[in-house]
Amino acid sequence: SWTSEHFVDSAVLALQNTIGPDDQVILGLSGGVDSSVAALLLHRAIGPRLHGIFVDNGLLRQDEFATVLKAYEGLGLNVTGVNAAPEFYAALEGLTDPELKRKAIGRTFIEVFDREAQKVQGARWLAQGTIYPDVIESVSVKGPAVTIKSHHNVGGLPEKMSLKIVEPLRMLFKDEVREVGATLGLPGEILNRHPFPGPGLGIRILGDITPEKVDLLQRADGVFINLLKQHNLYEHVWQAGAMLLPVQSVGVMGDERTYERVVALRAVTSVDGMTADWAHLPYEFLAEVSNKIINQVRGINRVVYDISSKPPATIEWE
């Protein structure tokens, strides 16, 4: 019968037999489960000849880049963190259409990733965290995992550098990937992470994106996610996050009138992201999140909760 230990042993042997003794391997890391597990597996097989590239697109969650990079380094991975936020913001400037924003983010990712990949001498392979549901194409175009879609998008790279593709997780389901990750010592913080879209906060800021809006949303989202964890609700929802709406509303603070931004909280239960119900979070909890966001995040004076199911509403607002 399948066990994660057996899988790790045989996958490591297979990788060692496939990848030549001097071959270098490139892998894009996202902080998600799939790319992280693929990295650990490859690291066990070929050590520092695995070159992880982790791009900060400026659209990650609060503190995410630093925290995850540290976790990777703590695991002994050979990983390069690339701070490319200004490049992404420049590419996004003035764009409001969700699909145009997605395209700009995807294109910039390829440019940044390509550039970093060219720096790896002796690169022969591009590793990907593709898992079985991606292989059988049962996921929607807007797939749940950042890594898979972005990596498939690393268009010209394999040809330009004549890289061969290696996908060590391509026969695994998500729960098996998690078991393998646990066996390889992936910290729970990454192992049990909610899905997060490749375009990140870029599709949670409705309308155009500015560094100031990213900062506001990161702080509001940070309050929400941290409180979900503190109240042991994080593992009971499938995905959660805050959306920054392109409206301002009137409020009062002390004896001052305010005219500030609105944040919508989204939390869903789901099996695969294809359908979803809004999470019936306790009113007391929602009250605490709302108060904390409004008290701590200057520039936000109103918080609403999204009570729409998918379909017809999608999980992301864009």
Binding site feature residues for ATP: 30-36
Task: Please choose, from the candidates 280, 247, 267, the residue with its C-alpha nearest in 3D space to the C-alpha of residue 315.
Answer: 267
Cα separation, 278 vs 307, whole angstroms: 6
Give residues 220-239 in contact with ligand XMP (rule: CB under 6 A). 239
Cα separation, 197 vs 145, whole angstroms: 6
Give residues 257-276 in contact with ligand XMP (rule: CB under 6 A). 273
Task: Please choose, from the candidates 108, 129, 158, the residue with its C-alpha nearest in 3D space to the C-alpha of residue 29.
Answer: 129
Cα separation, 188 vs 172, whole angstroms: 19
- Residue selected from 91, 199, 217, 245 as contacting ligand XMP according to rule CB under 6 A: 199
Q: How far is the CB of 181 from ligand XMP (least distance, A)?
A: 19
- Residue selected from 58, 198, 261, 265 as contacting ligand XMP according to rule CB under 6 A: 198
- Residue selected from 102, 124, 204, 219 as contacting ligand XMP according to rule CB under 6 A: 102
Residue closer to ligand XMP, measured from CB, 64 or 260: 64
Which tokens sit at 33? 């489960």
Residue closer to ligand XMP, measured from CB, 230 or 275: 275
Residue closer to ligand XMP, measured from CB, 81 or 202: 202
**Under the criterion CB under 6 A, does residue 77 sit at the interface with ligand XMP?**
no
Residue closer to ligand XMP, measured from CB, 248 or 314: 314
**Under the criterion CB under 6 A, does residue 43 sit at the interface with ligand XMP?**
no
Residue closer to ligand XMP, measured from CB, 23 or 167: 167
**Under the criterion CB under 6 A, does residue 129 sit at the interface with ligand XMP?**
no
Kindly state the number of chain residues that form the binding site for ligand XMP, as judged by CB under 6 A: 16
- Residue selected from 4, 78, 153, 314 as contacting ligand XMP according to rule CB under 6 A: 314
Q: Measuring CA to CA, how many Å separate 246 from each of 70, 88, 209?
A: 34, 20, 10
**Under the criterion CB under 6 A, does residue 202 sit at the interface with ligand XMP?**
no
Which tokens sit at 81? 């963190």
Contact string 133-152 vs ligand XMP (x = CB under 6 A): ---------xxx-x--x---
Which tokens sit at 157? 């790279």
Neighbours of 58 (CB within 10 A): 22
Which tokens sit at 194? 């909610």
The one segment of 11-19, 114-122, 153-161, 307-315 that binds ligand XMP by CB under 6 A: 307-315
Q: How far is CA 20 from the centre of its chain?
A: 31
3-state SS, residue 258: strand
- Residue selected from 23, 64, 288, 316 as contacting ligand XMP according to rule CB under 6 A: 316
Task: Match 């393998």 to its residue by tokens.
Answer: 180
- Residue selected from 158, 195, 207, 299 as contacting ligand XMP according to rule CB under 6 A: 195
Neighbours of 5 (CB within 10 A): 11
Residue closer to ligand XMP, measured from CB, 28 or 198: 198
Q: Measuring CA to CA, how many Å separate 119 from each of 87, 116, 122, 167?
A: 19, 5, 9, 22
Task: Please choose, from the candidates 88, 100, 32, the residue with its C-alpha nearest in 3D space to the C-alpha of residue 58.
Answer: 88
Residue closer to ligand XMP, measured from CB, 120 or 206: 206
Cis status of the peptide bond prior to 144, with omega within 30 of 0: no
Residues at the contact surface with ligand XMP, assessed by CB under 6 A = 102, 142-144, 146, 149, 195, 197-199, 239, 273, 310, 314-316
